[in-house]
Structure formats: C-alpha cells, structure tokens
Amino acid sequence: MDIKKVLVADAVDAACVELLEKHSIQVDCKYKLPVDQLIAEIKNYDGLIVRSDTKVTADVIAAGKNLKVIGRAGAGVDNIDIKAATANNIIVLNTPGGNAISACELTCSLITNLARNVTPAAASLKAGRWDRKLYAGHELNGKVLAILGLGRIGREVAVRMQAWGMKTIGYDPIVSAEESKKFNVDSLSLEEIWPLADYITVHTPLIPETRNLICENVFKSCKKGVRIVNVARGGIINEADLLQALRDGECGGAALDVFEQEPPTNPVTLELIQHPKVVATPHLGASTAEAQVRVAVEVSEQIIALTGKSKEFTTTPGIVNHSVLKN
C-alpha cells in the first residue's frame, strides 16, 4: 500500500511522528481542525491518525479521495464511520492493546474507591469534617465482580481483583466458557449475572448491541445496592436510568470515567456527576504516560506495516474492517 503522507488530527505522543518519518512517511500535525477545514485538508493525505476528539464522519471520508487508512491511537473507534470507510475501501485500525493496562488499573482503582468511599471521605476531611461513621465502607473480599467484556482489559481486571479475593463472573459472546476459565472467570449469560453481581464493570465497545446495556430493567434484576463501573464508553449505561437507580437505592454507587456526551452539558449527566454516590473522572482511562507512548507507537507501526516496506513491522492486529483487504 502506497502511504506517503499522513495527517495527525489529534495530539499523540511524538513517538508516532518520529517513527513514521523514520520510515519516509511525511507527517503533518494539525490538531482540532474544524470539520470544514478537515474536509478541505483530507484530500491531500493517504492516512489519517486520530484519537477521540476528531469525528471522522462520512463527509470527511468522502472528501478523502486519496485516503487509504484511518488509524485510531486508542481502542474505541465509535468516532469513525466504519461503514463509510469500508464502502470507500479505506482501512480502519486501532491499537487495542496499547491502553489495556492503564484502563484496567483505573477500573480497579475505582472499584476500591467505591468500596471504601475514598473520594467523598477525602472531600469531607478537606472541608474540615471528621465523618468516620458516615463513610464506613465494606470489604471486597468475597464479593462478586461481574465483568462484561472479556477482552484484554476485562481479563486484566479479573486477575487483579481476584487478588483482592473477589469472585469473578463474566459475559462475552465471543469468548468461550473454556477460555474464560483460564483466567478464573465463570462465563454466564447476562440474565444469570444480574442477580449475582455485587459490582458490575463494563469493557465492551459502544455498538448498537451494547448501547443502554445497563438500564432500568437491569437494575430491577440486580441485587439492591449493586455498584457500577464504566471506563469503556459513554452510552453503554443509560445515564437517566442510572440516576434514578441511585435515587431509589437500587444502585449503591457508580464510578464513571466516560459519558454519553464529552465534555458533558446534558442536565441529567451533570446531575449524575454531582450525585454523592458517584465518583466521576474526565475520561482518564488511557491518560498515562506509558499508554500514550504505546498507542502512538502501535498505530504508526501498523501504518508502516501496510506499506510492505518494513521487515521489522509486518503485522496489523488492529484492523477492524478486514473486508477491505479482500478488495
């Protein structure tokens, strides 16, 4: 594949640019371009690299007359119109393993935070109060953690929380029960999971099948006081239903790193963030120095591999629309 010029539209670690240029690929970094300007610019490039800020719409793709590959420096590709890219024979790829450890560690931190009320207790003490009884928590040992999505991140979470003594159950339609047993997760149906879980953490992409996966009906099927963690994508949990479940006591707490709208302006989301039983962070799952270097390097390695000119970089594990390769 002939890839000579790449546009980097969102800020990525300098390692990305350095590696591409080392392999004779010209790189231009133009961050946060307005849509009309991106549409005007994209025709000049063979490749486009984005993170989550830039929305690669059908109009952008249609304007990319020379575009051959769109690389996402991260895992989620819901900001890219994959259907339009595929129709135009443009490869879409991501870096599924680059931020796995960082997202996993944040998930584990949020689970322990919910168990011991760390965030509200710290805020209370900073405000001059001494509320020991108010913020008494509970142990994780012996509790049931349900992991929805048993890919790289879900598996890493399972291993770490097992060390805390948690029993891990999970659901993933493409991971067999035999495979999940290898990392000590009991594979169950969603209907079996809901009444068993003390904690639920989601690690799925946002696709039609997972939108509003956690909703009013789920809360009514769960243990009273179940706690929810989302470091995956906003929209997997119905925010209005979660807010109501917190009000009713059906949900005992939530830790959210992602939201349906980012930055959030929706009144429901803002009320949810302010709820005393919610720990909220501004999409920090991949925000570690290590993860940023890894995703930057991985996306550039795959683009280089597509050129077929490197003996060192020859694989493209992040391609999400393999049908393009057959055309």
- Which residues belong to the active site? 233, 262, 283
The number of beta carbons lying within 10 Å of the beta carbon of residue 120 is 17
